[in-house]
């Protein structure tokens, strides 16, 4: 149903597969996503790392919403976009027997497994919402529209959603209003030294060691201008290696800020296709340090 609605409206469908694909850009692959889901559904308490990943996903969804019109399935977005303009929250319900039958048919499962799957998903979704927003998914106030799908065809459900969208004038709301104040600002402040953080300092040291000429934050690329031509969004990559004609952006900072940076880099690549830029993720950096034995305390090895 979500796919039909997205197709009809020309919106982008954000489901588990799409999120897995996008999250690959930020150090969180499909296996990482599964790990997060598993941790949420199985544990009473989740560790700080899992929570950071969960919040990172919310950040990613908010960014997507800033860029495109979306149909999103699950992922606690009734909490993320709660009461926000330009959003329609649809709750899809059906009697348990109907849902079990649907799962049995579509997933090829036995009745017992289908029931278990549904129960697991309900628990997982409830935990997500409680963890992130302290909300109960059963609260009817979280939804604008409730559809009992065992009494509706997909076409009828589609018409009801589109009618609600149009009657509420939701498609006229600019996307930046939907996500206003939702995304964290990117701290660009530097510390007392020349570089913004320890990772940049280490990387600069690494370049100096191998006598690779570099410039630090030497060029700013305008990404968006207003009607008067004033720059309202810009991006300054951390390093420029003139001999390689390569910009390098380090993203070893807090995970929740990585997505915003990724979006900027994507935009930069779109606007300046001639610019050669490489993002150095936390994983890349750790690999670099591991190569030189710097992830542990003892003396390093030579090559």
Partner 1 sequence: MNDKNENIVEVLITQEAIRQRISQMAEEIAAAYRDCLPLLVGVLKGCVLFMSDLVKQIGIPLEMDYIAVMSYGGIHRPTGAARITKDLDCVIEGREVLLVEGIIDTGMTAGYLLRNLEARQPRNIRVCTLLDKEVRRIVKIPIAFRGFKIPDRFVVGYGLDFRQLYRNLPYIGVLSDEVTGLDRNQGTKIFL
Q: Which is nearer to partner 1, 129 or 265 (CB)?
A: 265
Contact between 215 and partner 1 (CB under 8 A)? Answer: no
Contact 158, 102 (CB under 8 A): no
Contact between 284 and partner 1 (CB under 8 A)? Answer: yes
Contact between 212 and partner 1 (CB under 8 A)? Answer: yes
Q: Which stretch binds partner 1 (CB under 8 A): 101-109, 158-166, 209-217, 267-275?
A: 209-217
The Cα 54–Cα 256 span in angstroms is 9
Contact between 73 and partner 1 (CB under 8 A)? Answer: no
Q: Which is nearer to partner 1, 133 or 216 (CB)?
A: 216
Q: Which is nearer to partner 1, 192 or 296 (CB)?
A: 296
Contact between 206 and partner 1 (CB under 8 A)? Answer: yes
Site string for partner 1, 6-45 (x = CB under 8 A): ---------------------x------------------
Contact between 278 and partner 1 (CB under 8 A)? Answer: yes
Contact between 256 and partner 1 (CB under 8 A)? Answer: no
Contact between 140 and partner 1 (CB under 8 A)? Answer: no
SS3 track for the chain: CHHHHHHHHCCEEECHHHHHHHHHHHCCCHHHHHHHHHHHHHCCCCCHHHHHHHHHHHHHHHHHHHHCCEEECCCCHHHHCCCCCCCCCEEEECCHHHHHHHHHHHHCCCHHHHHHHHHHHHHHHHHHHHHHHCCCCCCHHHCCEEEEHHHCCHHHHHHHHHHHHHHCCHHHCCHHHHCCCCCCCCCCCCCCCCCCCHHHHHHHHHHHHCCCCCEECCCCEEEEECCCCCEEEEECCCEEECCCCEEEEEECCCHHHHHHHHHHHHHHHHHCCCCCEEEEEHHHHHHHHHHCCCCCCCCCCCC
Instruction: Report the DSSP beta bridge partners of residue 278.
Output: 248
Q: Which is nearer to partner 1, 87 or 255 (CB)?
A: 255
Contact between 199 and partner 1 (CB under 8 A)? Answer: yes
Tell which one of 189, 192, 210, 230 touches partner 1 (CB under 8 A): 210
Q: Which is nearer to partner 1, 81 or 239 (CB)?
A: 239
Q: How far apart are the first and last CA of the chain?
A: 56
Output the smallest distance, CB 249 to partner 1, in A.
Answer: 13
Contact between 289 and partner 1 (CB under 8 A)? Answer: yes
Q: Which stretch binds partner 1 (CB under 8 A): 70-78, 99-107, 236-244, 258-266?
A: 236-244
Please give the size of the binding site for partner 1, defined by CB under 8 A.
45
Enumerate binding residues for partner 1 (CB under 8 A): 27, 49, 52-53, 198-199, 201-202, 205-206, 208-212, 241, 243-244, 246, 248, 252, 254-255, 278, 282-296, 298-303
């Amino acid at each position: 149903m979500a796919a039909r609605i997205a197709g009809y409206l020309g919106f982008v469908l954000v489901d588990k597969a799409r999120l897995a694909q996008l999250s690959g850009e930020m150090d969180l692959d499909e296996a990482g996503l599964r790990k997060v889901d598993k941790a949420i559904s199985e544990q009473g308490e989740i560790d700080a790392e899992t929570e950071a990943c969960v919040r990172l996903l919310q950040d990613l969804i908010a960014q997507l919403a800033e860029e495109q019109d979306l149909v999103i399935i699950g992922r606690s977005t009734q909490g993320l976009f709660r009461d926000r303009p330009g959003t329609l929250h649809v709750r899809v319900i059906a009697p348990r027997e109907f849902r079990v039958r649907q799962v049995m048919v579509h997933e090829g499962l036995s009745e017992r497994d289908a029931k278990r799957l549904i129960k697991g998903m309900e628990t997982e979704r409830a935990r997500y919402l409680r963890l992130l927003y302290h909300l109960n998914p059963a609260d009817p106030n979280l939804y604008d529209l409730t559809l009992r799908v065992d009494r509706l065809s997909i076409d009828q459900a589609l018409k009801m959603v589109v009618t609600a969208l149009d009657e509420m004038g939701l498609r006229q709301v600019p996307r930046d209003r939907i996500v206003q104040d939702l995304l964290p600002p990117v701290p660009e402040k530097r510390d007392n030294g020349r570089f913004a953080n320890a990772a940049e300092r280490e990387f600069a040291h690494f370049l100096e060691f191998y006598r690779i000429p570099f410039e630090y934050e030497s060029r700013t690329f305008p990404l968006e201008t207003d009607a008067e031509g004033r720059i309202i969004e810009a991006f300054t990559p951390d390093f420029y290696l003139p001999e390689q004609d390569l910009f390098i952006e380090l993203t070893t900072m807090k995970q929740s800020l990585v997505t915003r940076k990724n979006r900027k880099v994507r935009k930069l690549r779109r606007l300046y296709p001639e610019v050669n830029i490489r993002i150095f993720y936390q994983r890349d950096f750790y690999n670099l340090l591991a190569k030189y034995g710097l992830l542990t305390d003892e003396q390093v090895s030579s090559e």
